[in-house]
Structure 1
Amino acid sequence: MQELSAGGKTEAADVPARNEISVVTGAFGFTGKSIAQRLLSRGESVRTLTAHPERFDPFGGTVEVSPFNFADRSTLVRSLRGASTLYNTYWIRFPYRQVTYEEALANTRVLLGAAEEAGLRRIVHLSITNPSEESPHAYFRGKAILEREIRASSLSHAILRPTVIFGTEDILINNIGWFLRRFPLFLVPGSGDYGLQPVFVEDVAELVVEAGDREDNTTIDAVGPETYTFEALVRLIGEKLGSRAKIIHAAPRLALALSDVVGRIVRDVILTRDELEGLMANLLVSKGEPTGRTSFSSWLEANSATVGRRYASELARRYRAAK
């Protein structure tokens, strides 16, 4: 892997020029942007499929942009044709208005079929740790269904299973910091002893790109080197940010209700029941060895001045028109 500084920058490295075309879904988003940047840095041509082609282009026009066009398969096939690898980050964090998990599943099936028809060599798909088709949690259940369908496709494939991804533009870690900076109390749902194993976005991107180079069908947990209980993670963030907020335990139902109240104020969905139950069931911890090497503690130390300074809105990123 390339060297990463504590601040999260990719150090310069000599990489051979490549003439391949790669497609990254959501290349203007958090994880997709890091994947696209790594591909560009080694000389690949990059296309993106996005729900928001009108939004700010961080690549200055070097990435070819097309809308998803799930309803028009022939157009979707044309946007994929000529590419060798599809890096798929498409999914939804929670249902919103007419956008449901069922629709996200159907859309991904269309995308997978279009990739086969367009003659792509490989798909690298971002899933989640511990998915299961028997899961009571729709997010994890949907991810497991997609994994099965990808394995049944004609494409060579790699499935990457990240936990909580952190980095400069993440939502979860940033918003924990935002709460700790602005409120006198921080409510930890339940015991707080459930775990999570955060992974740095650049480590995920490098694992994803490396997986794209492989020929074998593989499934890899993309997880960082440190595991925390949720309470320990919150306390570490509070300490590094100099927060004076008192951290107290509350019933999960109360924590969800209060997050809903604040969500109405900031016009966002802060936390869902499905997300909280998945976290409390220890589904964001891997049973395998760490595959990322950037520690959350060192990254937080280097970025404590900026974490939580501004609220990061999921709805603004995904569903509201860019200003």
Structure 2
Amino acid sequence: MSGVNVGAGRVVTVFGGSGFVGRYVVRALARDGWRVRIACRRPDLAFHLQPQGRVGQVMAVQANVRHPESVAAALRGASAVVNLVGILAEGGAQTFSKVQAEGARAVAEAAKAAGVDTVVHISAIGADPSSGAAYARSKAAGEAAMRDAAPSAVILRPSVIFGPEDDFFNRFATMARFFPIVPIVGADTRFQPVYVGDVAEAVAAAVAGRAQPGSVYELGGPETKTFAELVEYVLKVTERARRVAKLSFGTGQLVARVTQLLTKASLGLFPKLLRMTTDQVELLKHDNVVSEEAIRDGRTLQGLGVQPQAIEAIVPTYLYRYRKTGQYQAQRLGA
């Protein structure tokens, strides 16, 4: 748990603070006494975060990591910076290279120019310059850019992140609601899902100076499960009797190519729920868990003083709505 009033009214700029992870990071930093400046492309979509702090403590400004001048402006007067910007799939000008590699470099160089020494960057487990997936390569390039311009930056690599607004458990719960079969690729691939609130606590700890400067921390939850086990768990919680179709990587690549073509042909109107990319299939070929080296060196959530929360403690609190009668499933007339 972070200390009280660590920020003492100083400014921390959070790039990508209006997103899924961002809202939890903003809450944690505001609680610690920081004045939080949310830098995002659409400040109007961040107004809902103002109640996370006292009056005037949380504010949003316009910035785009693809435009270095806006990044520099968002850092004026800041004492710390957090970069949360990332995408799961490319679209239009939002490419992996532009957002996750060049964007990270823009933030790091702006921090250096502004004299900001406290830099925290969110990457991902699996970041690898030699990966067959463009996503993983761009994450690795972003890390390299951070180390180059901001050597003392703390890099956090989470496994798949879950929480009420996630695009993982919610996605498969939705599929189970509408389809009799839930197809997955990489059924035996292992994941170590980490709660979004724990990731936010890790960010707050790093910003407060409780992380080793220049280190890479790997963030995972207390449980390691295969992809198939996670989907089966979703079906159990939502009480949906569905068959899990385990597709080979070859079949997955074929399906991904088809959905990519349909998405392009429909000008983006093809249902997001059914989309899959060849890059995502490539990522599923590798386990997404905390390494033995990180555990040995204490570069984990526990090393930052955060005790990770289990899937079973969080996921049922927001997946209940996918049951046939939602929160009323267990109630009986006359009970």
TM-score, L = length of structure 1: 0.83
Asked if the contact 1:81–1:119 (Cα under 8 Å) also holds between the matched residues in 2, the reply is no
Q: Cα distance 1:51–1:253, how it changes in 2: closer, same or farther (>3 A)?
A: farther
User: Which blocks of at least 5 consecutive residues in structure 2 are unaligned?
Assistant: 51-55, 302-306, 325-335
Partner of 2:318: 303
Instruction: Go from structure 1 to structure 2 and tell me whether the alpha carbon gap of 1:156 and 1:307 turns closer, same or farther (over 3 Å shift).
Output: farther
The verdict on how the C-alpha distance between 1:274 and 1:267 changes in structure 2, with shifts beyond 3 A counting, is closer
**Alpha carbons 1:86, 1:123 under 8 Å: kept:** yes
- Aligned-partner Cα distance in 1 for 2:65–2:182: 41
Q: Which has the higher contact order (CA 8 A, sep 6+)?
A: 1
Q: 1:125 to 1:72 in 2, by over 3 A?
A: closer
Where do 1:231-246 residues align within 5 Å? 231-246=228-243
SS in 2 for 1:33: helix
Equivalent position amino acid for 2:158 in 1 = P
State how many pairs are aligned.
296
Give, in angstroms, the shift of residue 71 of structure 1.
6.2
- 1:92–1:101 Cα contact (<8 Å) kept: yes
Cα displacement string for residues 181-228 of structure 1 (whole angstroms, at most 9, x for unaligned residues): 2111111325x1111110000000001110112262211001111111
Is the CA contact 2:151–2:214 (under 8 Å) kept in the aligned structure 1?
no
Q: Deviations over 1:126-184 (max 9, x none)?
A: 00113111111111111111212211224531000001000011112110111112111
Q: Partner of 1:21 in structure 2?
A: 11
Q: Distance in 2 between matches of 1:188 and 1:80?
A: 42
**Partner SS for 2:90:** coil
Distance 2:165 2:316 in 1: 16
**Residue in 2 that maps onto 1:271:** 276
CA distance in structure 2 between the aligned counterparts of 1:27 and 1:206, rounded to whole angstroms: 14
Matches within 5 A, 1:76-225: 76-104=71-99, 105-154=101-150, 156-190=152-186, 192-214=187-209, 216-225=213-222
* Contact preservation (8 Å) 1:26, 1:33: no
Aligned to 1:226: 223
User: Bigger CA drift: 18-27 or 211-220?
Assistant: 211-220
Larger radius of gyration: 2
The gaps in structure 1 that reach 5 residues or longer are 3-13, 310-323
The structure richer in helix per residue is: 2
RMSD: 2.5
Work out the percentage of aligned pairs sharing the same amino acid.
27
How many angstroms does 1:285 deviate by? 1.3
